[in-house]
A and B are shown apart, each in its own frame.
Chain A
Amino acid sequence: MIYLYSYLSIGAVVLVVMYVTHKFSSKSESDGLKDILDAMNPERKKLSYRVINNCLVPVLASVIAILFWPAVLYMKIKDMRDKGPGGRFEEKVFGVRKADLLAKRTIQQIESDEVIEDPLGAVPALPFGHLNKCWKNLLAQMMDGDELWSFKSEWDGNWCRTEIRSGYVLVREGSPEAFILTARVLVEKDDGG
């Protein structure tokens, strides 16, 4: 019996620690977010929902945490490892890798290839057309010795979707740095249909 009491006592300690860390680390819903969530799920305003959400679920979670605290502890540690140092899930940031580089190009070659023309005059006849500002910003970052390369990358983004991204990148001392994108094409998953 003493082992059972010890086991449950550890569970209670784990519960208290989890509760305190949750209280300090999580933010409460802002009014704006509350409005949006209420609009998406009108059930949230009902008494039954509030009773379940505010009373029943916390009690049930507490019982589960005490009974199965090793699993809870494992999930908490895994959660902390998945999150970044700031305690939030790190959003993946796209970057060009060396393996993505295709060919070294000059400014003149790129500007000549990327001028957009339109018979209806619905685009400025400049390199990269309506995105000319992005090109100018990239050129403004060029330093002596920098090279310009075309690239093509496969990118597994933050929304479980794979894209093929292509564009031009500044290569400084052999390392890809700033870039501009000229296309991103979603890779359709074969659903068998």
Chain B
Amino acid sequence: MTAQISEKLLFEGEKHAMCTNPLGDYCALGGELPNFASNRTALWRGYVGTWEIINDRLYLVELHGELESGEDANLETVFPGYGDRVFAHWYSGTIRLPQGKILEYVHMGYGSTYERDLLLEFKKGVLTSRLVKVNGISKDENASEGYGIGAMTVFPREKGDQP
């Protein structure tokens, strides 16, 4: 499995790479998602969501993806009537925001390790605590800063193609 493109999180005025997929939990709890097209190895889930924490609450504020039907998907597609923002009340658990220089690149999922992880703990979509976990200090001056993926393969497909 290739390293995956992260979700995005707007938090305290900064944009972070977010290595957690709260929409996966929505699906696991019985929520219905449309069939997203998985046409690149670095994005098996088929979409990228932008999240925002406002007054300690987690919201999904943007979503970009492509459906298997070939149509573009956005927030309105997934949550009709809630095209501006969706309160992620279903999410309980930890959200991981990797920070600093890369320590070890792992070409799988969100497996790479960075100097620090900002861990945000949520209960039913509400931020309850935060913790910075220090994983080490990079000795490589040229090490890349911030989350990134090394490579991916894109599978070209015609609009309307069925898998």
- A44 adjacent to chain B (CB < 8 Å): no
**Complex Cα gap A116–B125 (Å):** 11
Question: Are A129 and B41 in contact (CB-based, < 8 A)?
Answer: no
Q: Which of B9-17, B21-29, B66-74, B98-106 contacts A (4 or more CB under 8 A)?
A: B21-29
Question: Are A185 and B79 in contact (CB-based, < 8 A)?
Answer: no
CB-contact partner of B84 in A40, A122, A137, under 8 A: A122
Question: Are B85 and A120 in contact (CB-based, < 8 A)?
Answer: yes
Which partner residue on chain B sits nearest A35 by CB separation?
A: B155
- B55 adjacent to chain A (CB < 8 Å): yes
CB-contact partner of A116 in B84, B89, B94, under 8 A: B89
Interface SS of chain A: mixed
B-side contacts of A134, CB under 8 Å:
29-31
Q: How far is the CB of B33 from chain A (nearest CB, A)?
A: 11
Which partner residue on chain B sits nearest A39 by CB separation?
A: B153
- A174 adjacent to chain B (CB < 8 Å): no
- A133 adjacent to chain B (CB < 8 Å): yes
Question: Are A120 and B41 in contact (CB-based, < 8 A)?
Answer: no
A-side contacts of B153, CB under 8 Å:
39
A-side contacts of B155, CB under 8 Å:
35, 39
| Chain A interface (Cβ < 8 Å from any Cβ of B) | 32, 35-36, 39-40, 116, 118-120, 122-123, 129-131, 133-134, 137, 180-186, 188, 193
| Chain B interface (Cβ < 8 Å from any Cβ of A) | 1-2, 25-26, 28-32, 41, 54-55, 57, 59, 79, 82, 84-87, 89-90, 92-94, 124, 133, 153, 155, 163
A-B contact pairs, 10 of them (CB 8 A): A39-B153, A118-B87, A119-B55, A120-B59, A122-B85, A129-B89, A183-B90, A183-B124, A184-B29, A193-B133
What 9 pairs between A and B have smallest CB-CB spacing? A39-B153, A134-B30, A122-B87, A123-B87, A118-B87, A183-B92, A122-B85, A181-B29, A116-B89
